[in-house]
Amino acid sequence: MDLTNRPRRLRRTDCIRRLNRETRMSLDSLIYPIFVDETLSGVRPIESLPGQNHYGLDSVYQAVEDCLSAGVKHCILFGLPARKDACGSSAWEERGVIQEAVRTIKAEFPDFTVITDVCMCEYTDHGHCGILHGHEVDNDATLAYLAKIAVSHARAGADMVAPSDMMDGHVAVLRKALDENGFQDTAIMAYSAKYASAFYGPFRAAAGSAPSFGDRKGYQMDPHNRKEALKECALDAAEGADILMVKPALSYLDVIRECADAFDLPLCAYSVSGEYAMIKAAAAAGLVDEQRIMCETALSVFRAGANMLITYYAQEIANAIRMGEIG
């Protein structure tokens, strides 16, 4: 046939296909979540997240060693405290679980990037992300507590703080508090478009952070809304966020695309626990090829426009990139 355009020419060999990839993935773009339990000594498997672990303060270095062995250079820390109360006071203690974990990691691995989740749900006895006024989270009263948490993390040595509470005005308050305490160089990764999603169940079981009553729909976003994500990102950018985030990832690829196009700031996506657990469950049932599904879903997030990805598969994806399966 007389065909001028034959797209298959660029699919003819593996080397040619790799040469023409439009989406590139890097080891430098992967962030691994680490759960640190203040009451634990050693390592304990997480039942709700097969293949993931809780680490004690005496073993958190093992998680970092595993990351570095795979080529992953960044983590985000989540803490399980020994004590909870109504205002989550252990979240900003000088010797709190996250503060101690940061110091431990930085003492041994000073160049490893440590991001800390800034929220209150893991530390409050009611499981909500802020200070309660009756049965409602008081937005403005919560902000001062979030600022104390962020400053305590920065003082411990965190490279970046990541407020996940979804309180209005939180980025501005954190930026001001960090600057006033001499932490002008501590970056803020804002959970900008965080949806009230059904995909968080395994994380809440792992972190002990499920609300004791009600839900979080009063502060997390409605999954029906797309334009609201742009509004939230614009507010965070104006308040001083250094990185924006969309969470979850897989069901919100359209939102990732729009936010990536609309803003010049780096964009992170969080492939959350439910996304990971679904792949694990389907693979365990023999329904899918776990390796290929893992690679394809991660690739879709970067193709949608994300610059970096928080994922429980970070180490496995890093190995896939090194093997040339993706990237």
- Predicted confidence at residue 22, as pLDDT, reads 92
| Residue span of the structural domain in which 162 resides | 24-322
Is there a contact between 259 and 252 (Cβ–Cβ < 8 Å)? no
Comparing C-alpha atoms, which of 152, 185, 146 is closest to residue 164? 146
150 part of a folded domain:
yes
Q: Using alpha carbons only, give the angle 37, 77, 84 rounded to the nearest 5 degrees.
A: 45
Q: Using alpha carbons only, give the angle 178, 74, 78 rounded to the nearest 5 degrees.
A: 65
**C-alpha to C-alpha distance for 141 and 148, rounded to whole angstroms:** 12
113 part of a folded domain:
yes
Comparing C-alpha atoms, which of 278, 253, 260, 273 is closest to residue 201? 273
18 part of a folded domain:
no
73, 84, 247, 280: which is the annotated catalytic residue?
Answer: 247
157 part of a folded domain:
yes
111 part of a folded domain:
yes
- Predicted confidence at residue 211, as pLDDT, reads 81
- Predicted confidence at residue 206, as pLDDT, reads 86
**C-alpha to C-alpha distance for 226 and 112, rounded to whole angstroms:** 35
- Predicted confidence at residue 209, as pLDDT, reads 83
Output DSSP code: residue 150. H
- Tell me the one-letter amino acid at 176: K
268 part of a folded domain:
yes
- Predicted confidence at residue 128, as pLDDT, reads 87
Q: Which residues pair with 221 in a beta bridge?
A: 195
Name the domain count of the chain: 1
* Residues contacting 257, CB < 8 A, separation 6+: 304, 305
Cβ neighbourhood burial of 122 (10 Å; 0-12, 13-18, 19+) = buried
Q: What's the token pair of residue 152?
A: 């305590």
Active site residue 217: no
**C-alpha to C-alpha distance for 94 and 98, rounded to whole angstroms:** 9
The CATH number that applies at residue 80 is 3.20.20.70
Active site residue 176: no
Q: What's the token pair of residue 10?
A: 């660029």
Please give the torsion angle defined by the CA atoms of residues 324, 296, 229 and 26, in that order, rounded to the nearest 10 degrees.
-10
**C-alpha to C-alpha distance for 316 and 10, rounded to whole angstroms:** 28
235 part of a folded domain:
yes
Q: Which residues pair with 77 in a beta bridge?
A: 34, 116
Q: What is the pLDDT along the chain (327 residues), one digit of tens a residue?
A: 899 999 999 999 999 998 999 999 999 999 999 999 999 999 999 999 999 999 999 999 999 999 999 999 999 999 999 999 999 999 999 999 999 999 999 999 999 999 999 999 999 999 888 999 998 999 999 999 999 999 999 999 999 999 999 999 999 999 999 999 999 999 999 999 999 999 999 998 888 887 888 778 888 999 999 999 999 999 999 999 999 999 999 999 999 999 999 999 999 999 999 999 999 999 999 999 999 999 999 999 999 999 999 999 999 999 999 999 998
Please give the torsion angle defined by the CA atoms of residues 76, 170, 146 and 218, in that order, rounded to the nearest 10 degrees.
-90
Is there a contact between 265 and 237 (Cβ–Cβ < 8 Å)? yes
Comparing C-alpha atoms, which of 100, 118, 119 is closest to residue 61? 100
- Predicted confidence at residue 184, as pLDDT, reads 98
Is there a contact between 181 and 154 (Cβ–Cβ < 8 Å)? yes
176, 194, 227, 231: which is the annotated catalytic residue?
Answer: 194
Please state the separation of Cα 20 from the chain's center in Å.
Answer: 30
Assign 118 to helix, strand or coil.
Answer: strand
Residue 184: C-alpha distances to residues 101, 116, 140, 150, 176 (Å): 22, 16, 23, 12, 9
327 part of a folded domain:
no
What is the reported pTM? 0.96
